[in-house]
Amino acid sequence: MEVAKELLEGNKIELKVEVETDRVNDALQKAYKKVVKDVSLPGFRKGKVPRKVLEARYGKEVLHRDAFDIIIPRAYSEAVESTGIEPIAQPEVNDFYIAENEPATFVAVVEVKPEVELGEYTGLGIEKEEVEVTEDDIESHLSRTQEQHSQLESTDRELVEDGDFVIIDFEGYVDDEKFPGGTAEEYTLEIGSASFIPGFEEQLIGKKVGEEVEIEVSFPEEYQAENLAGKDALFKVNIKEIKVKKLPELNDDFAKEVSDFDTLAELREDIKERLSKQKKEKVEREFEDELIKTVSDNAEVDVSETLVNNELDMMYQNMEYSLSMQGLKIDDYFSHFGFDEETWRDKNRDEAASRAKSNLVLEAIAKKEGIEASDEEIDNMIEEIAEEGERSADEIKALLQLQGQLEGLVHSITIKKVIDYLEENN
């Protein structure tokens, strides 16, 4: 097979491909066997019409489309491999020519990854934050644990105060009409939590149990439900009960109740260790993000709309999968927040462009520095995946190959090694 490569504008490559005569004849014969199954002519049983008779009746072109469908996928794949290009989109294939006992030709135009002009990526001197767990950190964690194990108790007090939990019924109106999600009964609201529309909770302070209150508020301009954003609303509220929060005492009994430890001192030490681990992981993530951002900002690369859309597709799929693990559908998620996929894509376009550029830059560094995922590293990663599930490592590897995901695994290992390289040479 012969391939001629030509660089076009817009990071596109034109491949002129010529396929050997033997492969052409083989593809035409396979096309005939496929087409003839549905053909019946006088004097012949269905599926038994000789090829010459078929071509004489319908023309030799009757086999060309199916023959090209057989030839092109493999020939295009071989052309990509032989030229070393990295396509980022499906090719536009045209200018077909096919005839028996002759080479077949076609032209494929495809967008490829752009060239990256790397800037400085070593000796950056980015500082990593020191990790320290303070007594205030431990006390804050204990306070949150107290809150989680608190109980609400009724009170004889009749007037609402800041910090109270009020049980209310309410109906919300916009333009004198009820709106979806604006009505509830027996709703528990913490006064001062800022969980409602600004101004709502404050207007309940000083009001009395059993009192029916009308509250006027305005939805924020950036409110998640776009049909309500910036609009004035009236809520009719019935205050049914006031409850107050009772916190458990911080002692050894508390430690036994909320953990596997017998003493508060042991619990505090465990909290310190866990907070230290969390802080180290957070600092490491932020440090890696800063490294990636810096080397990306230092580089020059043309990030096309195709790359941005590809990244958006990946982000969408990841979010869809994450929501499905929580038993949620992505359309319901969008509906809840008052937008659709198109709006989501518009809001995340800049982030997708940034990710696409960073990925290209890290790949370019890997190529320049000869950083690759070794067979041992790939096998170790597959072993880790297998340990988390019920399949063997061999089954996981076969599944990844079948689903075309092994390359993605190799890519993720390579990128991690690039980040390690950047950190070591910072």
* Residue 341 shares a structural domain with residue 416: yes
Q: What span, in angstroms and rounded, lies between the C-alpha atoms of 64 and 31?
A: 8
**Exposure string over 234-247, b if 16+ CB within 10 A, otherwise e:** ebebebebbbeeee
Total domains, the chain: 3
The radius of gyration computed from the CA coordinates of the chain, to the nearest angstrom, equals: 33
In a domain, 126, yes or no: no
Q: Amino acid identity, residue 316?
A: Y
- Of 220, 246, 272, at which residue does a domain stop? 246
What's the pLDDT band for 60 if we cut at 50, 70, 90?
confident
Cα separation, 211 vs 188, in Å, equals 16
Residue 92 lies in a domain: yes
The rounded distance, in Å, linking the Cα atoms of 23 and 95 is 18
Position 61 scores a pLDDT of 86
The last residue of one of the domains, among 216, 246, 276, is: 246
* Residues 228 and 268 occupy one common structural domain: no
Identify the band that residue 8 occupies on the pLDDT scale cut at 50, 70 and 90.
Answer: very high
Q: Name residue, tokens 């709309």.
A: 305
Mean per-residue pLDDT, 294-305: 96
- Rounded CA-CA distance 425/354 in Å is 23
- Going by the DSSP 8-state scheme, the letter that residue 37 receives in this structure is G
- Within a domain: residue 318? yes
Classify residue 129 by its DSSP letter. P
Determine contact, residues 22/74, Cβ cutoff 8 Å. no
- Dmax over CA atoms of the chain, in Å, equals 100
In whole angstroms, what is the distance from residue 91 CA to residue 397 CA?
A: 29
CATH of the domain at 25: 3.30.70.1050
- Which stretches within 94-189 are classed as H helix? 135-148
Closest of 230, 261, 3 to residue 142, by C-alpha? 261
Q: Residue 98 has what pLDDT? A: 92
The answer to whether residue 285 sits within a structural domain is yes
Strands 104-111 vs 151-154: parallel, antiparallel or unpaired: unpaired
Tell me, yes or no, whether 313 lies in a domain: yes
Which pLDDT score is estimated for 223? 87
Q: Domain check: are 270 and 418 in the same one?
A: yes
- pLDDT at 222 > cutoff 90: no
CB 125 within 8 A of CB 110: no
45 located within any domain: yes
Average pLDDT over residues 88-107: 93
Same domain, 288 and 417: yes
Angle between helices 375-388 and 393-402 (to 10 degrees): 110
Let me know whether 268 and 388 are in one domain.
yes
Chain segment 344-398, per-residue pLDDT in tens: 999 999 999 999 999 999 999 999 999 999 999 999 999 998 888 888 888 898 9
Q: What is the pLDDT of residue 391?
A: 86
* pLDDT average, residue stretch 212-235: 90
* Phi-psi region at 45: left, alpha or beta (left = phi > 0; alpha = psi -120 to 50): beta
Residue 106: what are its φ and ψ, rounded to 5°? -155, 165
Tokens of 275: 């907070």
Same domain, 193 and 78: no
- Tell me whether residue 17 is in a domain: yes
Question: Distance (Å, rounded) from C-alpha 244 to C-alpha 398?
Answer: 58
Q: Is the pTM of this model over 0.85?
A: no
Among residues 246, 275, 297, which one ends one of the domains?
Answer: 246
Does 42 map to a domain?
A: yes
Q: What is the pLDDT of residue 255?
A: 95
Q: What is the CATH number of the domain that holds 327?
A: 1.10.3120.10
**Alpha-carbon gap, residue 18 to 1, rounded angstroms:** 6
The verdict on 214 and 285 lying in the same domain is: no
Quick check: 203 pLDDT over 90?
yes
The CA distance from 291 to 295, in Å, is 6
Whether 412 and 290 map to the same domain: the answer is: yes
Judge if 339 and 222 occupy the same domain. no
Helix (H/G/I), strand (E/B), else coil: 152: strand
Clarify whether residues 18 and 166 are in a common domain. Answer: no
Distance CA(61)–CA(67), nearest Å, equals 10
Q: Is pLDDT of 109 > 90?
A: yes
Q: Tell me, what CATH number does 211's domain have?
A: 3.10.50.40
In the numeric block, the tokens 């092109």 are attached to: 72
Residue 38 belongs to what domain range? 2-111
Distance between CA atoms of residues 228 and 318, nearest Å: 29
30 with 68, same domain: the answer is yes
Asked if residue 212 and residue 286 are part of one domain, the reply reads: no
SS3 239: strand
Q: What is the rounded distance in angstroms from the CA atom of residue 206 to the CA atom of residue 134?
A: 39
With 90 as the cut, is the pLDDT of residue 214 above it?
A: yes
